[in-house]
Amino acid sequence: MQHNEPSAQPGVRPEPRPAQKPERNPLSKVRLSNAIYPVLIGLGVVGYMLYRDFNPEIFADITFSWHTVFWLVMAVVFIFGRDIGYIIRIRVLSGGKLNWLQAFRVIMLWEFTSAITPSAVGGTSVALLYVHKEGISVGRSSAIVMLTSFLDEVYFIVMFPLLVLIVGPDSLFDITASSGLVVRSLVTFAVIGYFAKLAWVCLLSYGLFVNPRGLRRLIASIFRIRPLRRWYRGAVRTGSDIVLSSYEIRRYRFGFWFKAGASTFLSWSSRYLVANALIMAFFAVSDQFLLFARQLVMWIMMLIMPTPGGSGFAEYIFTTYCADLISVPAALQLGAATLIAVLWRLVTYYPYLVFGAILFPRWIKRHFAKGTPR
């Protein structure tokens, strides 16, 4: 890696970065063979749900018409909106230094990594390397990845209470008996997760905009505690990234924040609207805002899942948590929800496995030679 540090502020001595392992280590767990596991898990769960809940009678009410075509087209539009929002945002965060092709490549690799790693890990751990290898300095790459996380969390922090006000807490958290204790406990976790995200945003804001060095020292002190010492190196590296990022971020003006925020809103809102469009293509939705809000809650739930990309869990939770919003007879709701869950994952998850399988080997060959950094 080219270690191009950001220019230090006058009179401020840059924080030394902790010793790092060889550059290829962040990619040690990213292998094409890992894509097999989420596929097998997803197919297994879907197969079981279809066996348990699917009822052929749901096809009796499905008719293909211009209405169906319109909503399928809208689903495709929202799929593109999700990725276009990400691509626009990373170009904004890079100050235009990433061209459209580079931005597309980084986003596809990032999504691929997220798809084959547990939801709690995601693709962020190697995202800095993806960005840096496209010609962005270490400091700017740290700022891009840190701001990406920050903007994503701000979206949740703002949208969650707004949607609760619109749909009402009773509707959002009204879990029927058929959903079981598992879903109820996960909804409770989603509420706890929201406040954890809020605390992280406040802490990150303090580090990025007020006192980055103070936050770095606090993180280092916390992870010197014996039970947390095993994560000390990674925690200190995160603190150093915050310090590097703060040098970059303090130069940004209102126009930057507006474009970055708008592209974040476009991407995440489009992500959730895909399911709305798919249901509307074949059935009807009793409450569009409530379906949208429940998907946001689902995304927080998926953060604890150990399966790659939340595979298996995403299909299950969508079927049990959103079935009552599909306007079909109650006896057919689980079957209809299972059908939509299959389509939803086919168009929002598996394409990234395909793109990643194509791009990742070429990217490794381009940037690494014989397993060592160029």
- Top pLDDT among 45 and 287 is at 287
Separation CA 113–CA 221 (nearest Å): 31
Rounded to the nearest angstrom, the gap between the alpha carbon of residue 138 and the centroid of all alpha carbons in its chain is 22
Mean pLDDT of 351-360: 86
- Top pLDDT among 339 and 193 is at 339
Q: What is the pLDDT of residue 192?
A: 81
pTM of the model: 0.80
Tell me if 74 is assigned to some domain: yes
Tell me if 18 is assigned to some domain: no
CB 339 within 8 A of CB 326: no
Maximum mean pLDDT: which of 171-180, 256-265, 307-316: 256-265
Tell me if 218 is assigned to some domain: yes
Q: What is the pLDDT of residue 235?
A: 74
Separation CA 23–CA 93 (nearest Å): 23
Domain that holds residue 155: 30-373
Where on the phi/psi map is residue 168: left (φ > 0), alpha (ψ -120 to 50), or beta? left
Query: pLDDT digit string (tens) for 241-254?
Result: 778 777 777 778 88
Mean pLDDT of 351-368: 84
Q: What is the pLDDT of residue 171?
A: 79
Query: pLDDT digit string (tens) for 71-122?
Result: 999 999 999 999 999 999 999 998 889 999 999 999 999 888 888 876 555 5
Smallest Cα–Cα separation from 280: which of 21, 77, 20? 77
Separation CA 238–CA 230 (nearest Å): 14
Separation CA 238–CA 17 (nearest Å): 10
Q: What's the residue count for the chain?
A: 374
Tell me if 13 is assigned to some domain: no
Tell me if 19 is assigned to some domain: no
Separation CA 317–CA 326 (nearest Å): 15
- Which segment of 38-47, 174-183, 185-194, 320-329 scores lowest on mean pLDDT? 174-183
N- to C-terminal Cα separation, the chain:
8
Cα dihedral: 245, 246, 250, 251 (round 10): -30
Mean pLDDT of 6-26: 46
Query: pLDDT digit string (tens) for 53-67?
Result: 667 777 776 778 888
Separation CA 296–CA 187 (nearest Å): 11
CB 341 within 8 A of CB 318: yes
Tell me if 101 is assigned to some domain: yes
Q: Which residues contact 199 (CB under 8 A, 6 or more apart)?
A: none
Mean pLDDT of 353-358: 86
CB 117 within 8 A of CB 126: no
Q: What is the pLDDT of residue 373?
A: 44
Task: Count the domains in the chain.
Answer: 1
Query: pLDDT digit string (tens) for 140-171?
Result: 787 888 889 889 999 999 998 898 888 887 77
Question: Quick check: 313 pLDDT over 60?
Answer: yes
Structure tokens at 194: 């929201």
Confidence of residue 261 (pLDDT cuts 50, 70, 90): very high
Separation CA 354–CA 365 (nearest Å): 18
Give the bridge partners for 308, in sequence order.
Answer: 118
Amino acid, single-letter form, for residue 370: K
Tell me if 60 is assigned to some domain: yes
Tell me if 25 is assigned to some domain: no
